Amino acid sequence: MTEGGSSDDAVTIVEVSPRDGLQNERTMVSTQTKARLVRDLIGAGLRRVEVTSFVHPRLVPQMADAEAVVDQTGPHDAASLIGLVLNERGAARAVATRGIEEINYVVPATDSFGRANQGMTTAQALEVGAWIGEQVHGHGHRFSVTVAVAFGCPYDGDVSERRLANVVSRAAELAPDELALADTIGCAVPADVRRRVTQTTGTWSGPLRMHFHDTRRTGLANADAALEAGVRILDSSAGGIGGCPFAPGAAGNLATEDLLWMLQRSHVRTVAPIDAVRVTEIGRELCTALGFDSRSAIGSAGVFPGVPSA
């Protein structure tokens, strides 16, 4: 990891605990608690927060109150609220929700995961994505595309670099403002990350974001490899919570407090200062409310003394 650097080297953290963190939890969380979580995260310094997903409530009951969560969170001049969508209906709901500024659309790297996650093959998702991109931009929102299972699929196993390159090339044609590669089931290792980031940036010149799960305890190492490869936007989740209802074994996101600890101990700045101690507290409180201990290393061990401000 490169220490210090110019303002262009500052890292943006996209906080996903209100959406990816909660979506797979069986303990139902109230709308008020979700909205308070978002406000607390923003208060700690997070400036991009994925607050919900606009999906069918029967399939993902935890996200049934998407509009209400955004409404109770309230507008925030200091932060951008992000909504995830899987299809046209979700996109229509998202663009109609006051307070959502960014809309993140998922393109599956494999047909098997696409059918399980959103009832579409990769080709169908790309076709739908063209319409969604037009709608999102037409309403003045930022549009991002996340390529799911970019490293491995719970149904098909390894995703080849050739397959990923083809999907990325076609996803780029949707003209997103940002492209993300997601290690949905946490099977990537740093060597994979370096190769696939290099491959992707060879065809995609826009902002690249990475989404890591810590299923096999490689999340932090993968984040470091992505940073060394030039990535400056990373997803993470307070408390290390998260998972996907349609990806068996996709346990736990990279914990925000663990990522912050690594960045701050390495003197790598974030775009806005983020209070690592407060994020650790938020993660612990969230995990307690869900009935288990914090899943992050820092949540268990504590923030090491002398951590400088980001």
C-alpha distance from residue 98 to each of 29, 71, 130, 157 (Å): 22, 7, 23, 39
d(CA 178, CA 201): 12
Q: Let me know if residue 306 belongs to a domain.
A: no
Q: Let me know if residue 282 belongs to a domain.
A: yes
84 DSSP β-pair partners: 53, 104
Q: Let me know if residue 197 belongs to a domain.
A: yes
Mean pLDDT of 34-60: 96
Q: Do residues 74 and 117 lie in contact, with contact meaning Cβ atoms separated by under 8 Å?
A: no
d(CA 152, CA 70): 32
d(CA 84, CA 165): 23
The pLDDT > 90 percentage for the chain reads: 86
Q: Let me know if residue 34 belongs to a domain.
A: yes
Is residue 187 flagged as an active site residue?
no
Domain count along the chain: 1
Q: Let me know if residue 115 belongs to a domain.
A: yes
- CATH number of 212's domain: 3.20.20.70
pLDDT digits (tens, 9 = 90+) for 245-283: 767 666 689 999 999 999 999 999 999 999 999 999 999
Q: Let me know if residue 41 belongs to a domain.
A: yes
Residue 78 pLDDT > 90: no
Domain span at 58: 7-294
Residue 308 pLDDT > 60: no
d(CA 294, CA 177): 33
Residue in the structure block whose two tokens are 């076709």: 127
Total-model pTM? 0.94
C-alpha distance from residue 269 to each of 8, 11, 210, 220, 223 (Å): 10, 6, 17, 16, 15
Mean pLDDT of 141-164: 97
d(CA 69, CA 21): 15
The confidence score (pLDDT) of residue 304 equals 76
Distance of CA 157 to the CA centre of its chain: 22
pLDDT digits (tens, 9 = 90+) for 186-215: 999 999 999 999 999 999 999 999 999 999
Q: Let me know if residue 1 belongs to a domain.
A: no
Q: Let me know if residue 118 belongs to a domain.
A: yes
When the pLDDT of each residue in the chain is averaged and rounded to a whole number, the result is 93
Mean pLDDT of 104-113: 98
